[in-house]
Amino acid sequence: MKKSVLAVLALLAVLTALWLAALAGADANAGGNFWALRKLAIYYTGIAALGCMSAGLLLATRPAWADRLLGGLDQAYRLHKWLGIAAVSLGAAHWLIKLVPKWLVAQGWLERAAHKGGRGAESWLDLLRKPAESLGEWAIYLVIPIVLLALWKRFPYRPAFLLHRVLAGTYLVLVFHGAALMPPAYWLTPLGAVMAVLMAAGSWGAALSLAGRIGARRRVAGRIVALRPHPGSGVLEVECQLDAGWPGHAAGQFAFVTFGRGEGAHPFTIASAWRDDGRLSFAIKALGDYTRALPQQVAAGDALTVEGPYGRFDFAGRGERQVWVAGGIGITPFLARLEALAAAGGSRQPVDAFYCTAAADPGFIARLRQLAEQARVRLHLRVTPQDGLLTPATLAEALGGKDGVARSDVWFCGPAGFGRALRHGLAAQGLPAGRFHQEAFEMR
């Protein structure tokens, strides 16, 4: 979260600096009375909100460069979320600065601004101002609740997906609003050039979203070849055969899987190593309405679409040893890594894998032990109802104390709260900065 917030602040700092530079030629003589300052505040909040929203729409297209630059698509989506929060906050401020003084005038608590004389013949841009103002106001009424609902994790996935489509269309209205109402003098400054690029990029992202083409170039069709349910842990393994076109993947990556058009794509971690044969497996935990109903809705032979691969959970570290910690379904990326290591003859460095689960399925545990043995990985099974939670102190003790912790790279996948506790606790135990690796698999 910290990096995402800093990135948003950096974007706002750039837009603020460009806006201040643009003032020298555009509004230097605007005066210092309340109404002049209000006008400047309206311009600033509108530009900042539209800039953040444009960057967010661009990231929503899942560009490959963002995956590389930001260290994984999970980080791009985290930044996308904070850009949305910033855009809504600034948009609300823009709306309030515009309307509240008018309400105060209507109540007689504020003196109306003095109107200047006639403006002469109206240009084509002047003719667009009224519709741009009206459409922009109604767009703000839509954007604020849409973004808040999309950020609410308990809001169902499918409606949230559809709301993003509505948001894309609303964004195009806001682009018209901003382009028509931004002072013409601003367009002749570096601020105008940057905003033009941002709005063009955001509009392209919105168009892809409305057309259902986000990630289209990375989609590969296939079919389900086997389903293996694990009732003890509530996990369904789905093995599929993809058509030609899948570029291959590394252990730890994930993909968006579409089992049916009615629901749309869901992100799942790939649970198998790549063998250049088009075969992929996913381990899907029954965590919500959709995943709970999935075993009754899919069957061997059904068609599906897989988009990816994405992610940077790549097991590349500088430590002498690796420590893997999996909580529940967080074991999935480690399954793929175990398969890859087993196929390569085993790990060439010490690896300790801690699997924490509330429900140990015997068949799955037997397979996990076999894979760990073939991969030369030391497996530590921790069934939490009888063994208790894995704590930083317990983990440090298993690694031989602070010296063992300091020589390790820790790879974690599991509940976010569990990860935060381990990260802070292991830092206190001597884990060097940058040696705790965790992918934020939440897409919102």
Query: Residue 291 maps to which CATH number?
Result: 2.40.30.10
Q: Please answer whether residues 241 and 221 qualify as being in contact, where contact means their C-beta atoms are separated by less than 8 angstroms.
A: no
Domain end, chosen from 263, 279, 310, is at 310
Assign residue 348 the CATH number of its domain.
3.40.50.80
pLDDT value at residue 149: 80
Do 18 and 122 lie in one domain? The reply is: yes
Distance separating alpha carbons of residues 320 and 303, to the nearest angstrom: 44
Parallel/antiparallel/unpaired status of strands 219-230 and 235-242: antiparallel
Q: How many CB atoms lie within 10 A of CB 406?
A: 17
Residues 165 and 241 occupy one common structural domain: no
In a shared domain, residues 199 and 262: no
Question: Do 333 and 396 belong together in one domain?
Answer: yes
Do 204 and 112 have their domain in common? yes
- Model pTM? 0.85
Q: 176 and 274 share a domain?
A: no
Q: What pLDDT does residue 173 have?
A: 94
Q: How confident is the model at residue 341, as a pLDDT?
A: 95
Q: Kindly state whether residues 266 and 366 are assigned to the same domain.
A: no
Residue 380: CB atoms within 10 A of its CB come to 18
DSSP 210-270: HTT-TTGGGEEEEEEEEEEEETTTTEEEEEEEE-TT-----TT-EEEEES-TTT--EEEEB
Is 444 within the bounds of a domain?
Answer: no
Question: What is the spatial order of strands in the sheet that 254-258 belongs to?
Answer: 266-269, 254-258, 303-310, 219-230, 235-242, 279-285
- Give the pLDDT means over successive 10-residue stretches in the chain (444 positions): 86 96 67 81 95 95 86 86 93 91 83 62 66 86 83 74 86 94 91 97 95 92 93 87 93 91 83 93 87 90 94 86 92 94 93 91 88 96 90 90 91 91 92 86 56
Residue 433 maps to a domain: yes
Cα(249)–Cα(310) distance, integer angstroms = 8
Residue 443 lies in a domain: no
Which pLDDT belongs to residue 332? 92
Of 170, 195, 210, the last residue of a domain is: 210
pLDDT at 338 (0 to 100): 95
| Cα distance between residue 115 and residue 132, in whole Å | 21
CATH number, domain with residue 143: 1.20.120
- Choosing from 286, 310, 334, the residue where a domain stops is 310
Taking the alpha carbons at both ends of the chain, their separation in whole angstroms is 12
- Cα separation, 234 vs 328, in Å, equals 10
Same-domain status, 354 and 414: yes
- 344 and 290 share a domain? no
Number of separate domains in the chain: 3
What is the DSSP secondary structure assignment for residue 120, as one 8-state letter?
-
Do 54 and 146 lie in a common domain? yes
Give the tokens for residue 425: 């606790």
Q: Which domain holds residue 6?
A: 2-210
Identity at 243, one-letter amino acid code: D
260 and 386 inside one domain: no
How far apart are alpha carbons 186 and 196 in whole angstroms?
Answer: 11
Q: Are 281 and 270 in contact (CB under 8 A)?
A: yes
pLDDT at position 115 is: 62
pLDDT value, residue 141: 84
Nearest in space to 336 (alpha carbons), one of 279, 284, 270:
270
The answer to the question of residue 315 being in a domain is no
